[in-house]
Amino acid sequence: MSASTPVTHLWLREETKPMEHRAALSPDVCKKLLEHGGFEITVEESKARIFADSEYEAAGCRLVSGDSWRTAPHDAIITGLKELPENDTSALPHTHIMFAHCYKQQGGWKDVLSRFVEGEGLLYDLEFLQDDSGRRVAAFGFYAGFTGSAVGIDAWCHQQLNSGEKYPVIKPYPNEDVLIAETKEKLARIGKMPRIMVMGALGRCGSGAVSYARKAGIPEENIVQWDMAETAKGGPFKEIMEADIFVNCIYLSSKIPPFVTQEQIDNERQLSVIVDVSCDTTNPFNPIPIYNVNTTFDNALLDIQSSNAKPLQLCSIDHLPTMLPRESSNQFAIDLLPTLLQLPTRSSAPVWTRAEKLFHDKVASMATSD
């Protein structure tokens, strides 16, 4: 590579969302990018990230203070996972790679995009980096469903074993084997198995939810798997009320009839736990319109109001894979690597040109949206 060849500068920012331990770039992927050539990688120090700062340093990255990306060189591509702090409204002059959650008219979407407009920056939204077939090049979907299913089963176990007590704070696990062993132990103490229904079971997210149920020892006949064929008739669906646990894993792209209604949950039901992995909480088309707030790892379950005396609790944590931060981050970064290698030619690489066009289309849509 000649001295005049431009270098692509990736700046991995510190995640500021509470309880977020994942990273968009793993040390191993950073090492591969640097060995490939044409990349410079700066990593902000972080005590919360699952990977130690020393792992990035050993991979050849330059370490800087946390939350210093605002003063990064203009050509640095600021890379992260979760959205920027809501209380920060400053203009964004850099190019950012992240899950911004602002392309489906979520709450505050115009405020987010306006920051890029004001700063003349650019957003490459990770959710919309897609290959030629329209499939996302990298996603946390499998681990979102996997951990969502784990929370659902654990919440159901808590209802059986600790009725009336507050659900404990969820903390990250060193690996999935520890999580699975904990679930199996609780199910053994209860002596019966729940019936779990997974919506969107054929997708990445749904397959993760089904996988966890199986690994936890739930028999196949207790795992109800629905996808587009089963939902084609349109909701609401009484079958959801017949399950103990409902895990929603669909990808919502347009308005659909609700899966669940207040009338249903007010009447007789078996259902006592909902995990909305999809988390279209503020989306006007939310198919579970019985709540409108996200839950968190320290307050994981929302008590849903119902005239039925049977409790109904809902989990709507929007970054569930951080329960297994090392495994989920490694898989995501490996999947993202081939696309990152195209960054030096992003002006012509289809994945990146489509993402840039989408950003400009969404910005333009602000003028015509109510």
Residue 200 region by backbone torsions, left for phi larger than 0, else alpha for psi between -120 and 50, else beta: left
Ligand-binding annotation for 317, yes or no, is: yes
What's 86's DSSP letter?
A: T
DSSP labels, 236-305: --HHHHTSSEEEE-----S----S--HHHHHSS-S--EEEETT--TT-TT-S-TT------SSS--EE--
Ligand-binding annotation for 251, yes or no, is: yes
Any idea which residues carry the catalytic annotation?
82, 101
349, two tokens: 């690489």
Ligand-binding annotation for 274, yes or no, is: no
By C-alpha distance, which of 59, 57, 70, 52 is closest to 13? 70
By C-alpha distance, which of 295, 314, 307, 177 is closest to 245? 314
84, two tokens: 């920027």
Ligand-binding annotation for 204, yes or no, is: yes
Instruction: Give the Cα separation of 82 and 107 in Å (integer).
Output: 15
H helices within the chain, ranges in order? 27-36, 53-59, 109-119, 141-161, 176-190, 204-215, 228-231, 238-241, 262-266, 325-340, 350-365
Q: What are phi and psi of 325, to 5 degrees?
A: -65, -40
Sheet strand arrangement including 245-248: 223-226, 196-199, 245-248, 273-276, 313-315, 302-303
Instruction: Give the Cα separation of 27 and 59 in Å (integer).
Output: 6
Ligand-binding annotation for 269, yes or no, is: no
Ligand-binding annotation for 67, yes or no, is: no
Ligand-binding annotation for 260, yes or no, is: no
Residue type, 281: T
Q: What count of residues does the chain have?
A: 370
Binding annotation: 135, 203-204, 227, 231, 251, 277, 317-320
Give the residue numbers of the binding site for NAD(+). 135, 203-204, 227, 231, 251, 277, 317-320
